[in-house]
Structures are given as C-alpha cells and as structure tokens.
Amino acid sequence: MELYFLGTGAGMPSKRRNVTSIVLNLLAERGTCWMFDCGEGTQHQALKSPVKIGKLEKLFITHLHGDHIYGLPGALTSRSYQGGDTPLSMYGPKGLRAFVETSLLVSDAHLAYPLEIVELEEEGLVWEDDAFRVTAMRLEHRVECWGYRIEEKDMPGKLLTDKLRELGLPSGPLYGRLKSGQDVTLPDGTVVRSADVIGPPIAGRTVVILGDTRYCDGARELARGADVLVHEATFAQNRQELALAYDHSTSVDAARVAGEAGAGTLILTHISSRYQEEEADVLLHEAQELHADTHLAHDHFSYTIARKPAGAL
C-alpha cells in the first residue's frame, strides 16, 4: 500500500506543483489503484509517474472546485485508451454526476467500461468488501466537501507450520482446514485446534485523505488512530486569518488534527503557490513542532504504508 501524489498545489497550478490528485496504490493488495481528486492536468502527471490510469478501480472526489475535478473528462476517456475495460466507481458530492455526464455528452466521449457514479448524501459507510472499508464525513469548506477514511481489515495470522510438523502433521489438505479456522482430529484421536496453530492476526492499515477544510471536528473524527493522515496545509500560521476567510487550514491546524486524533504519520499537501521551493519548508517546520512525524508532499512524492508487526492491533 502506497500513497503517490500527482498534484500537491492549491487553487491553481504553479511551475512546481500541479493541482490536487492523490493515488492510493493497491496493486499488491488487489491489483488496482484508487484516485482521490483529479485536478486539471492529472493525466499528464500520471504519464511522468508509475501510475497507470488503466488500473483505476475507484475514484473519490472530495468536492467540486475546479482544482479537484477539471482533470476528470481527460482521465476517464484516457482510461479507455489504456486498456481499462473493467468497471470504474466514482464517489463524491451531489453535482458530480451532472458534471461528468455533461462533459462526456458535449464532447461526444464514449467509455469502453461501465461507469458507476455515487453521490454522497449521508456520512458513514461508502463502500465495503471482505478486505477494505471506506467511510466518509463532511468537512468545513465553502462548498460541500468530504473526507475519506480507508481501512484495511485485519487479516488472519500465519499458519505455524513448525508447530504442525512437531505434531506430526504432513503438509496438505489438513493445513488448509486449520488455516480456514476448522479444528482437525488426527487418526489417534488427538484434536488440533486451529486457534493453537495460527499466529497473531495481522493488523490492517488505515489511511485518511481529507479534502479542503478548516480545522473541524469531522477531520479529527475521521483521522482518529489512523496510520497516515493526508491533510491540506494551504497556508503558514501567519496567514491564519486568510485561512479562516477561505475555509482552509494552516500547517498548524493540520498538526493539531493529527495530534488530537492520535494519528501516526501526517502528510501535508494542497500548498498555496505563494510557498515556492524553500519557502514551503516553513509549513513543514511549523507542523513538526506539534507533530514530529510530518512530511511535506511535493508532486511525485510517494509514501509506503508499512504493516505493523503481527499481533500489534
């Protein structure tokens, strides 16, 4: 599981930062990737990266400001040309369907795959299968805006094969039964309990990706106990009044959310174009004073979310 940042700027692109788009690489887990927001030029950014638009399985939109959605028509059509023929699901605020369908209609675009668009109405569960769960909550921004919490479910521990060999069990079908949770009775009447030969469970990982927001309860609730929190940091702390006026966050706001939520790694993104090159370091240093485990994302920055040791739930 890896986060890859295609665009990390705010409002409008700059020479150093394109507008917002983040990819959650799940190739190892499910052979696909998920995208969060798709600002103008996202498909061009993908061409300079390992990201394959054809591998997109889900696309989550936080809100309908242009710097988060103007790349959608190009990315959706390019997915067809890059071999994407499997269904694609999109999630986002009311109005997303009208934007996408109108863009495709007036440009006479034809997709080679089924497209499902889900407009969010209530906070809570967005999607779930046997391996992942996605929930969403409203944030505080000038327009309806959502944050997403992606939770990988815990996995069963590994089969303790050394212990099985000590008990005299040859490898084969019995191993599979024990791995699936079934107890096994040996020819001599000995009962081997599955629970005794399975190691501790492997904890799932939790990633929280927020849209544009001022400091708010929704952000804190979504981020509670997350392994990684991606939070906007449009301004430095000396621009707090400007941040409040436009319903954005400062680097200190982001660090406060991470600390109060007990989140692990904090990654700052959505950086105003006023902070170029070394000037952006002030955002990082301000956040690190409150939350030491903080990174400042830049375009094509990647971060691998490592698994916790077995049993560390």
Q: Any idea which residues carry the catalytic annotation?
A: 67
Report the C-alpha gap between 155 and 121 in whole angstroms: 31
- According to DSSP, the β-strands at 228-232 and 265-269 are parallel
* Cβ–Cβ < 8 Å for 249, 215: yes
Name which of 56, 171, 69 is nearest 115 in CA terms.
56
Report the C-alpha gap between 267 and 255 in whole angstroms: 9
Q: Is 67 annotated as a binding residue?
A: yes
Strands (E) in the chain, as ranges, are 2-7, 21-26, 32-36, 56-60, 88-92, 115-119, 124-128, 132-138, 146-152, 184-185, 191-192, 206-209, 228-232, 265-269, 294-296, 302-304
* Cβ–Cβ < 8 Å for 225, 263: yes
Q: Is 141 annotated as a binding residue?
A: yes
% helix / strand / coil in the chain, to the nearest 5?
30, 25, 45
* Cβ–Cβ < 8 Å for 149, 132: no
Q: Is 270 annotated as a binding residue?
A: yes
Report the C-alpha gap between 38 and 95 in whole angstroms: 15
- According to DSSP, the β-strands at 146-152 and 132-138 are antiparallel
Q: Is 65 annotated as a binding residue?
A: yes
Q: Is 293 annotated as a binding residue?
A: no
* Cβ–Cβ < 8 Å for 64, 89: no
Which residues contribute to the annotated binding site? Answer: 63, 65, 67-68, 141, 212, 270
Which residues contribute to the annotated binding site for Zn(2+)? Answer: 63, 65, 67-68, 141, 212, 270
